[in-house]
């Protein structure tokens, strides 16, 4: 049995009083709260290990060990090898970094495919790269009614001229989980490289880059209960072959050549702790043995997390459907809910997204309004100019009681 109250006790922010009252965090798609072990790991780094790298003294050696451990942890999370993981500020900066290198291989007559469902961090790096090199940008469309990718259009847009396909694993606006495996297969048929934005999927499900077969995949640990830090998977052959924009002293071996400059070492320590926290759920609730590998523990954790979040999603969607005037964007049929993460964007007749977010904030329920950098889809469905949506995003530390409190506020707003 998943003990959500026990889980919640490990998150300091959930115990804190805000304006004299406990808060409800439904702002999770913009960044989750961190586990106490993450805080401890970052404090430990800053007090006992804080240094730059590759020195002959103790704190520098400890920092090198933190970096090595972080690469191993991220590799366990993503299902790859440690030298295939690159760290950076966030997914956005890492994507621009890679797009600049991949742009060197583009030219007139080549095509880059992006989608109208994606966060702009997986759109504009590729649009700008194509513009710089005279390549053509193709746009895969969205089914407006269901909030899903138009897969027929995706297939149609991939041609023998396609060189890069950029697609999101899950939408941060409609919550849709895309069939990225199929898209990666289509791209492979024409020799195109694939870049997957997994930022919104990473807090909700197991990622296996080898099974997917993608060339690149990026996520950010502040979306899966850790600190602000970005992680990029790249196939070893690509990280070795591509020219990275870097300073000379870092050398030309991956992943070092992609991590030019001093990294966020305390963030790396915190990310490792966040992944270990998730792995611990696999031991406590998923049946994994304490001696099993971290990857196996993570595999055991995600079905438990997914089942609990699936229940929350069903309660959230059904609750919203009972509020007069509410329109949910994205999949709502019970049979389709497994095709979405617990992120729901909505509008209510007679109010604006800002008014709804303000009404919730007055009751210490934290939720975002706007388009959340998913500008292409907000424009496509016609909500960009009117203020976007109200977005409610749940993770495994949220509760049914919190959903019910939220519904009461929205019903009266």
Mean pLDDT, rounded, of the chain:
97
Is 90 exceeded by the pLDDT of residue 19?
Answer: no
Backbone angles phi, psi at 148, to 5 degrees: -115, 160
Q: Is 85 left (phi over 0), alpha (psi -120 to 50) or beta?
A: beta
Q: Which tokens go with 43?
A: 């404090």
Question: In a 3-state reduction of DSSP, which class is residue 167?
Answer: strand
Long-range CB contacts for residues 278-282, cutoff 8 Å, separation at least 24: 278/77, 278/224, 278/225, 278/305, 279/76, 281/7, 281/305
Question: Mean of the pLDDT values across residues 45-58?
Answer: 97
The mean per-residue pLDDT over the stretch 174-184 comes to 98
Are 212 and 179 contacting, i.e. CB atoms less than 8 angstroms apart?
A: no
375-381 mean pLDDT: 96
Percent of the chain with pLDDT over 90: 97
User: Can you give the pLDDT at residue 251?
Assistant: 85
CA torsion, points 242, 244, 245, 247, in degrees to nearest 10?
Answer: -140
Strand, helix or coil for residue 135: coil
* β-strand pairing of 368-370 with 389-393: antiparallel
pTM, full prediction: 0.97
Residue 260 has pLDDT above 90, yes or no: no
CA gap 289, 296 in Å, rounded: 9
- According to the model, what pLDDT value does residue 108 have? 97
Report the DSSP beta bridge partners of residue 196: 167, 217
In order of start, what are the domains of the chain with their CATH numbers?
4-35+294-412 (3.90.1150.10), 41-274 (3.40.640.10)
> Tell me, what's the pLDDT at 343?
97
pLDDT (tens digit per residue) in 26-39: 999 999 999 999 99
170 pLDDT more than 90: yes
- Per-residue pLDDT, averaged over 381-410, amounts to 97
Position 154 confidence tier, pLDDT thresholds 50, 70, 90: very high
Query: How far lies 382's CA from each of 301, 389, 393, in Å?
Result: 38, 11, 21
pLDDT tens-place string over residues 334-357: 999 999 999 999 999 999 999 999
pLDDT at 121 over 90: yes
- Taking 90 as the threshold, does the pLDDT of residue 1 lie above it? no
Other beta carbons less than 10 A from residue 377's beta carbon: 29
| pLDDT exceeds 90 at position 292 | yes
Is pLDDT above 90 for 194?
yes
Q: How many of the other CB atoms lie within 10 Å of CB of 111?
A: 21
pLDDT of 413 reads 82
- Taking CA atoms, 352 is separated from 213, 359, 367, 394, in Å, by 42, 11, 14, 21
Sheet strands side by side (includes 343-348): 326-329, 343-348, 389-393, 368-370
Q: Is a pLDDT exceeding 90 seen at residue 305?
A: yes
* Percent of the chain's residues with pLDDT above 70: 100
């Amino acid at each position: 049995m998943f003990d959500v109250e026990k889980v919640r006790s490990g998150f300091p922010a959930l115990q804190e009083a805000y304006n004299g009252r406990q808060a409800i965090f439904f702002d999770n798609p913009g960044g989750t709260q961190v586990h106490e072990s993450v805080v401890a790991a970052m404090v430990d780094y800053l007090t006992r290990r804080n240094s730059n790298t590759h020195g002959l003294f103790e704190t520098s050696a400890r920092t090198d060990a933190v970096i090595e451990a972080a690469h191993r942890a991220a590799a366990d999370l993503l299902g790859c090898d440690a030298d295939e993981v690159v760290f950076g500020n966030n997914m956005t900066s890492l994507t621009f970094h890679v797009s600049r290198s991949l742009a060197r291989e583009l030219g007139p007559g080549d095509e880059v495919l992006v989608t109208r469902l994606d966060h702009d961090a997986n759109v504009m790096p590729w649009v700008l790269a194509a513009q710089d090199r005279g390549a053509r940008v193709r746009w895969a469309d969205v089914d407006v009614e269901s909030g899903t990718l138009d897969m027929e259009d995706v297939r149609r847009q991939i041609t023998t001229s396609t060189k890069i396909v950029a697609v999101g694993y899950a939408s941060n606006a409609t919550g849709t989980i895309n069939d990225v495996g199929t898209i990666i297969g289509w791209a492979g048929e024409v020799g195109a490289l694939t870049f997957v934005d997994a930022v919104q999927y990473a807090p909700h499900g197991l990622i296996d880059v080898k099974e997917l077969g993608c060339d690149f995949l990026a996520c950010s640990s502040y979306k899966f209960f850790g600190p602000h830090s970005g992680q990029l998977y790249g196939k070893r052959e690509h990280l070795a072959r591509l020219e990275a924009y870097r300073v000379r002293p870092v050398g030309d071996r991956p992943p070092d050549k992609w991590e030019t400059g001093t990294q966020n070492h305390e963030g790396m320590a915190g990310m490792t702790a966040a992944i270990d926290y998730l792995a611990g759920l696999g031991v406590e609730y998923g049946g994994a043995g304490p001696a099993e590998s971290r990857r196996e523990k993570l595999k055991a954790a995600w079905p438990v997390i997914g089942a609990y979040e699936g229940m929350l999603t069903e309660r959230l969607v059904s609750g919203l459907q009972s509020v007069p005037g509410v329109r949910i964007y994205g999949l709502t049929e019970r049979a389709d809910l497994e095709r979405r993460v617990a992120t729901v964007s909505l509008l209510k007749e007679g109010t604006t997204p800002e008014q709804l977010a303000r009404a919730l904030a007055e009751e210490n329920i934290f939720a975002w309004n706007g388009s959340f950098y998913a500008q292409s889809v907000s424009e496509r469905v016609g909500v960009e100019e009117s203020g976007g949506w109200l977005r409610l995003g749940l993770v495994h530390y949220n509760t049914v009681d919190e959903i019910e409190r939220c519904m009461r506020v929205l019903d009266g707003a």
